[in-house]
Amino acid sequence: MLKRPAVLLTAAVMMSSPICASALDTKQAEGYARGIVTFEKNKNGIPEGDSLLSGRIAEDAGYDSSDWLAIGAVRSGLETDTGEYFTAWKKRIEDEYSDDAAIDRLNATDWHRAVLTGICLGIDPTDVSEIDLLGRGTYLRGEGRPLDEQGVNGEIWALIAMDSCDWKLPEDAFPNREEIIYSIIDTRNSDGGFSLTAGDGRSDLDITAMALQALAPYRCCEETENSVNKAVELLAERYGDADNCETAAQIICALCCLDIDPDSDERFKGLTDELISYANDDGGFAHQKGGESSELASSQALIALCSIQRLRSGERPVYDMNEGSPEKLVKTTLKEMTSAKNRNTSPPALKNSPDGSANGKNTQLAVSAAIIALFAAGVIGGVIMRKRKEKEK
């Protein structure tokens, strides 16, 4: 059961603007995101005033759903106090990623997720106790450990990791960005979508959405523009087939990476409503409608909600951790674009530091109190309206 202050906070944020029948208001998106934080804290026994990334969640640092939760929480601005999570995550990396057999033992995508997590925690992922997470996850794997051994998923997330900070790769890096991009688009099915296994022929919504997240920075390149457009067309035709929270979340994230607001594009009408239909009263999101809230579904929903908020506020996409506002893309070639993105040797300076010195906890409490005081009068009406809306569907 939600703690009363958290209930007030989530419902109050949702009430800050009118509830639309077919669109997710930005403040509502924030409310659902805060609900996920509340769910995770309650589930893991974390006191309301403590960092989300502490306690039992920090104990699982370096693992799948916990890392995605950390990425979503940091990129949405809901958490800056990352010290405890960083300490546990760094130890996990040192214990499980340092030996020569780690490349064989771990999936390629484990390395890519670690790159994204490391940046969010304020550390250079190319040197975590002398472990190069980016290199070993992409171009230092050796001939016997190709990225596509895990299917096209390995190549997709390798490209996302490389572009997370527009990392500068060695001149002899293999594969490099251009090679990975060509490899991805070469696996495209005749219907425009992508499958986990090349040549499968049965396009998968999740994989197609992830491929678009990776190809988004290259959507105006002569060599990739058609592939991107065809994949978007497939999602527009089939997004109604999404039958779980994670798939809906991946599609939303892909569209936001492409600068497409699903609530402003008629092709994707009702998509955000579909995502919210997996939300439970405890604040979490379920894999299937009516099921129990889960950390994986909730973390993916949080990233989708974060993507919507970042798009509407003019910020860079969720996995683009470069500094400054997003660049306006122009028609170009793949060679020119990959060359332009091959530029950084260190991550951006983040608000949080590896020792967790940011005052995230106090900031969270102050913001929470302000929002509760401002919107408390509308809480009861907000809860009733939400329940009525769910019953009418």
- Of residues 216 and 348, more confidence is placed in 216
Q: Would you state the pLDDT for residue 201?
A: 81
Record the tokens describing residue 80, joined without a space: 């800056």
Q: Would you state the pLDDT for residue 207?
A: 98
**Band of the pLDDT at 23, cuts 50, 70, 90?**
confident
Residue 213 has pLDDT above 90, yes or no: yes
3-state secondary structure 273-328: HHHHCCECCCCCEECCCCCCECHHHHHHHHHHHHHHHHHHCCCCCCCCCCCCCCCC
Write the pLDDT tens digit of every residue in 152-161. 999 999 999 9
Residue 67: what are its φ and ψ, rounded to 5°? Answer: -65, -40
- Of residues 374 and 257, more confidence is placed in 257
Residue 371 has pLDDT above 60, yes or no: no
Nearest to 137 by CA among 95, 170, 104: 104
Record the tokens describing residue 310, joined without a space: 């970042």
**Band of the pLDDT at 355, cuts 50, 70, 90?**
low
- Of residues 283 and 372, more confidence is placed in 283
**Band of the pLDDT at 352, cuts 50, 70, 90?**
low
Record the tokens describing residue 182, joined without a space: 């060509």
Write the pLDDT tens digit of every residue in 171-199. 999 999 999 999 999 999 999 999 998 87
Average pLDDT, the chain: 87
**Band of the pLDDT at 88, cuts 50, 70, 90?**
very high
Write the pLDDT tens digit of every residue in 31-54. 999 999 999 999 999 999 999 999
Q: What is the rounded CA–CA span in Å between residue 65 and residue 115?
A: 15
Residue 246 has pLDDT above 60, yes or no: yes
Q: What is the rounded CA–CA span in Å between residue 132 and residue 111?
A: 10
**Band of the pLDDT at 336, cuts 50, 70, 90?**
very high
